[in-house]
Structure 1
Amino acid sequence: MTGRSRGEVEAEIKETLGLVPHFMAGIPDELLDAEWEIFKRLELGETLIPNKYKELIGIALHSETKCRYCTLFHTEAAKLFGATDEEIQEAVHYAKNSLGWSGYLNGMREDYDGFARELEQIKQYLSSKG
């Protein structure tokens, strides 16, 4: 740990979340402070990506990894940060669509360099239209 006892870290977790979640209670003493700091910064703190959008990304990601724990966590967190049911549905639909295209492009073994060239042309065309 970084100088704080397990009791100090757990007291901060409880003050922040209202309880020490069981999954955190099982983290070894020497890792708890570091894991809590990362969780607190990325999940609860303001970063370059606003919290609502981070949580929508989390929902989309874990709808595809099929992790029901993470999907539940990120759905509830997104709602706490102001996401609507419609935004949550759109995030999941976007993930489904993106994964579908990924499966198709990889399955068809699309030429990557040709894909990158065409994407650059599309980008230039759309930029020119302002």
Structure 2
Amino acid sequence: MTTTARARTEVEAEIKETLGLVPSFFTTIPEDTLDHEWQLFQRMEFGETRIPNKYKELLMLAVHAETRCRYCTLFHTEAAKLFGATDEEIQEAVHLAKYTVGWSVYLNGMREPEDRFADELAQIGAHLSA
């Protein structure tokens, strides 16, 4: 079953009603995908999902601190604040990204055998669970 996408004018009217303006990055999305992209944006940014919005924004901020996307880093920092994140929580999210990426660089650079790593992790999990 397929659904017909709404016209650009209708989608942009909804975007403006929600955000107060139509950000330029939405104006360049092709008309045949705009409705889909807007619906996805609304769900991920404002919708209730399994992860509370503040934590989604902190997670996305951490990801984009690593991808070095200045646009996304700014967006998700401000969105996290809108959902109640403190400056300290933002700092911690970015620090956690730095921390976990550092381990990734080290383990991959040292070519740690994945099967040994998985076996040791299972042993650590069993020990911590006991």
TM-score tier (shorter): over 0.9
Residue identity over aligned pairs, in percent, reads 70
Q: 2:23 aligns with which of 11, 21, 24?
A: 21
**Over residues 8-58 of structure 1, what are the superposed CA-to-partner deviations in whole Å (9 max), with x where a residue is unaligned?**
111110111110000001111111101101111111111111110110011
Which residue pairs with 2:96 in the alignment? 94
- 2:57–2:77 contact (8 Å) kept in structure 1: yes
Mapped to 2, the partners of 1:106 and 1:51 lie a distance apart of 32
Gaps of 5+ in 1: none
Aligned-pair CA distance for 1:76: 0.2
Indicate yes or no: 2:58 matched with 1:45.
Answer: no
Gaps of 5+ in 2: none
Is the partner of 1:82 in helix, strand or coil? coil
Aligned-pair CA distance for 1:2: 2.7
* Poorly superposed stretches of 4+, deviation over 3 Å: none
Which residue pairs with 1:36 in the alignment? 38
Is the partner of 1:61 in helix, strand or coil? helix
AA in 1 matched with 2:27: A
Which residue pairs with 1:69 in the alignment? 71
Mapped to 1, the partners of 2:29 and 2:110 lie a distance apart of 43
Normalised TM-score (structure 2):
0.95
Is the partner of 1:20 in helix, strand or coil? coil
Aligned length: 128
Which residue pairs with 1:125 in the alignment? 127
